[in-house]
């Protein structure tokens, strides 16, 4: 399955299958449930989760029809419409927080080492005198 998806033109649906389902051994036949569906492939290493798609232009008028068709099939446990989520902002915020936390820890460590270094320096200079 290709890692690149065209969310501008397609809607993707993750379908979780019961291992006893006939679709489990032949997941590509999920596309036969409705003429607008295309089987994309297995989701990662999850053999029980298959990704199907169809053209976004058809989505609004056929949404209920397709979801009902999928949910009515014996052996289909769950149907999830996939949405694009922008993780960049969340990741950036998490990354910034982590970097600030690390910087704070470094500063605390430097501050705690500073008196030791000062006293070592004072001891060294006193011994030299």
Q: CATH no. for residue 38? A: 3.30.70.920
Considering the domain architecture, whether residues 78 and 93 belong to the same structural domain is answered as no
Confidence of residue 2 (pLDDT cuts 50, 70, 90): very low
> Per the domain annotation, does 1 fall within a domain?
no
Considering the domain architecture, whether residues 29 and 76 belong to the same structural domain is answered as yes
> Per the domain annotation, does 120 fall within a domain?
yes
Domain with 99, as residue range(s), is 86-129
> Per the domain annotation, does 5 fall within a domain?
no
Considering the domain architecture, whether residues 56 and 114 belong to the same structural domain is answered as no
Digit-coded pLDDT (tens) for 66-120: 889 999 999 999 999 888 776 665 556 666 666 666 665 656 555 555 555 545 5
Considering the domain architecture, whether residues 90 and 119 belong to the same structural domain is answered as yes
Considering the domain architecture, whether residues 91 and 56 belong to the same structural domain is answered as no
pTM above 0.85, yes or no: no
Query: For residues 50 and 46, what is the distance between their CA atoms, to the nearest angstrom?
Result: 8
Considering the domain architecture, whether residues 97 and 111 belong to the same structural domain is answered as yes
Considering the domain architecture, whether residues 100 and 73 belong to the same structural domain is answered as no
Residue 40, CA distances (Å) to 4, 11, 24, 64, 79 in order = 11, 11, 14, 20, 15
> Per the domain annotation, does 98 fall within a domain?
yes
Considering the domain architecture, whether residues 24 and 62 belong to the same structural domain is answered as yes
Question: What is the count of structural domains for the chain?
Answer: 2
> Per the domain annotation, does 103 fall within a domain?
yes
Residue 32, CA distances (Å) to 73, 93, 112 in order = 12, 43, 68
């Amino acid at each position: 399955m290709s890692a690149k998806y065209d969310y501008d033109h397609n809607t993707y649906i993750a379908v979780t299958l019961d291992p006893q389902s006939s679709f489990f051994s032949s997941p590509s036949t999920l596309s036969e449930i409705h003429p607008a569906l295309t089987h994309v492939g297995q989701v990662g290493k999850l053999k029980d989760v298959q990704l199907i798609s169809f053209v976004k232009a058809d989505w609004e008028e056929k949404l209920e029809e397709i979801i009902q068709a999928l949910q009515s099939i014996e052996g289909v446990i769950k149907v999830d419409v996939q949405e694009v989520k922008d993780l960049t902002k969340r990741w950036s915020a998490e990354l910034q927080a982590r970097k600030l936390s690390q910087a704070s820890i470094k500063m605390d460590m430097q501050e705690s080492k500073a008196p030791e270094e000062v006293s070592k320096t004072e001891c060294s200079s006193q011994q030299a005198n």
